[in-house]
């Protein structure tokens, strides 16, 4: 099988490539992204292409002619790109890469990254939505995810290929660039004053594993991918030994700007998570993919704070020089 991994430069994309390399069924792997992969890859071919350069991207995909596409070119706002650019990159990468792959006529299956954000939060929406729940995104990232899902599903219908949309809980880990991780690692974290909503996280390894299993199995339709258990906002802040700063109503705008100044961008879907939580029912993915050993949310949450506690070693300059010699 020839697999194309879009968004291979991201943490999950790189892990997906590593898992695919370990699978003998997969004969060739090609990847594109606007940044290079984060780990050493042995038999994947990587091409650095800006998703906005549609012609270059389309040519590369057509030349490779993939049987399967693992589409990670869905960029979370505030992760590595600003919210505006993230939406443009996601749209461009989805339309161009999937369109080019379909035109080759060899495409057999597609897996796309999506998020629990497609369900939205608020009145009339379930607290723990399953895949049957109505999709009603309430943030720009949710709308981007839904758009990607719709494009992919439409392509699947027209070309009769199974398309699986993996609606992932926020992906986190000690080395994953995630806006939620950055906010929770601030010394003082804004939290809702009169609420303590529950949210779920997904470990980056489980995200990659789920994507590879769903792609190889050729599943059709959406699948929620969430880490078991949950954490609450106040709890996560205390778990990291941070100071919770209660915020009400319009003060969230101020908190968003303050966090931005402190180096943690807070796009709308993160503000929504802090205020209304984010959960999903991942039992179908567990059944269908056999993912029985997923990392629980609270472990992922604890891992967020692990690297922050690494103490720098202060080596005297003289000894450092002597070692060098």
Partner 1 sequence: MNANVSSVTMYATDPDRAQSMDLITSLRRRFNGRYLIDPFGADPQLQDVLAPVVLAAVRTRVEHGERLIRNGPALLVSNRGLGVVEPTALTVAVRCEIGRRLRIVGVPDIPVLGDIMRKLGGVIAYPGDVGALLRAGHMAAVPLGSSWSRWAGGRPPLPLLVPALGYPVIPIAVMPGGPFGMPLRPWRVVVGEPLPIHSKKGSGDPLAAAELAEAARTAIDTLISGDSNG
- Residues near partner 1 (CB under 8 A): 123-130, 132-133, 194-198, 200, 226, 228-232, 234-241, 277, 279-283, 286-287, 292, 296-298
Query: Closest distance between partner 1 and the C-beta of residue 159, in Å?
Result: 30
Query: Closest distance between partner 1 and the C-beta of residue 320, in Å?
Result: 37
Could you give the CA distance from residue 1 to residue 191 in angstroms, rounded to a whole number? Answer: 47
Closest CB to partner 1 among residues 109, 276: 276
Closest CB to partner 1 among residues 79, 297: 297
Closest CB to partner 1 among residues 1, 198: 198
Closest CB to partner 1 among residues 209, 279: 279
Closest CB to partner 1 among residues 66, 277: 277
Could you give the CA distance from residue 54 to residue 92 in angstroms, rounded to a whole number? Answer: 7
Cα 86 to Cα 50, 81, 225: the distances in Å are 12, 5, 22
Reading the block at residue 184, the tokens are 């929770």
Within 10 Å of residue 81's Cβ, how many Cβ atoms?
A: 17
Closest CB to partner 1 among residues 93, 236: 236
Could you give the CA distance from residue 316 to residue 308 in angstroms, rounded to a whole number? Answer: 23
Query: Closest distance between partner 1 and the C-beta of residue 210, in Å?
Result: 14
Q: How far apart are the first and last CA of the chain?
A: 50
- Collapsed DSSP state (helix, strand, coil) of residue 47: strand
Closest CB to partner 1 among residues 149, 281: 281
Query: Closest distance between partner 1 and the C-beta of residue 290, in Å?
Result: 9
Query: Closest distance between partner 1 and the C-beta of residue 265, in Å?
Result: 24
Kindly state the helix (H) or strand (E) to which residue 316 belongs, with its residue range: none
Chain position carrying tokens 């009769």: 160
Query: Closest distance between partner 1 and the C-beta of residue 129, in Å?
Result: 6
Using a 10 angstrom Cβ sphere, with 0-12 exposed, 13-18 middle and 19 or more buried, the burial of residue 220 is middle
Could you give the CA distance from residue 43 to residue 41 in angstroms, rounded to a whole number? Answer: 6
- Collapsed DSSP state (helix, strand, coil) of residue 113: strand
Query: Closest distance between partner 1 and the C-beta of residue 133, in Å?
Result: 5
Query: Closest distance between partner 1 and the C-beta of residue 174, in Å?
Result: 17
Closest CB to partner 1 among residues 72, 119: 119
Q: Which of 134, 7, 116 is nearest to 70 (CA)?
A: 7
Query: Closest distance between partner 1 and the C-beta of residue 41, in Å?
Result: 33
Reading the block at residue 139, the tokens are 């943030």
Closest CB to partner 1 among residues 139, 298: 298
Could you give the CA distance from residue 45 to residue 232 in angstroms, rounded to a whole number? Answer: 41
Within 10 Å of residue 22's Cβ, how many Cβ atoms?
A: 10
Could you give the CA distance from residue 182 to residue 59 in angstroms, rounded to a whole number? Answer: 36
Chain position carrying tokens 């299956």: 109
């Amino acid at each position: 099988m020839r697999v194309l991994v879009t968004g291979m430069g991201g943490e999950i994309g790189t892990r997906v490539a590593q898992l695919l390399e370990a699978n003998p069924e997969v004969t060739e792997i090609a990847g594109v992204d606007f940044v290079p992969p984060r780990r050493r890859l042995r038999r994947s071919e990587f091409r650095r292409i800006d998703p906005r350069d549609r012609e270059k991207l389309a040519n590369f995909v057509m030349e490779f002619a993939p049987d399967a596409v693992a589409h990670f070119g869905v960029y979370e706002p505030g992760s590595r790109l600003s919210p505006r650019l993230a939406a443009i990159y996601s749209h461009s990468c989805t339309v161009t890469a999937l369109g080019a792959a379909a035109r080759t006529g060899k495409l057999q299956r597609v897996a796309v990254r999506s998020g629990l954000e497609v369900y939205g939060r608020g009145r009339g929406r379930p607290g723990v939505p399953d895949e049957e729940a109505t999709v009603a995104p309430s943030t720009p990232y949710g709308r981007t995810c839904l758009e990607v899902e719709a494009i992919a599903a439409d392509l699947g219908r027209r070309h009769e290929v199974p398309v699986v949309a993996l609606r992932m809980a926020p992906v986190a880990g000690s080395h994953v660039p995630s806006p939620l991780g950055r906010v929770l690692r601030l010394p003082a974290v804004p939290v809702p004053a009169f609420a303590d909503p529950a949210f779920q996280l997904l470990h980056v390894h489980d995200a990659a594993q789920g994507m590879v299993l769903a792609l190889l199995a050729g599943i059709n339709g959406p699948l929620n991918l969430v880490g078991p258990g949950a954490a609450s906002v106040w709890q996560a802040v205390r778990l990291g030994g941070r100071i919770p700063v209660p915020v009400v109503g319009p003060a969230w705008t101020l908190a968003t700007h303050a966090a931005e100044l402190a180096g943690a961008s807070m796009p709308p879907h993160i503000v929504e998570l802090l205020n209304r939580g984010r959960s999903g029912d991942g039992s179908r993915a567990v059944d269908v993919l056999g993912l029985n050993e997923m990392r629980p949310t609270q472990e992922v949450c604890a891992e967020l704070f692990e690297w922050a506690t690494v103490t720098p070693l202060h080596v005297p300059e003289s000894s450092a020089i002597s070692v060098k010699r």
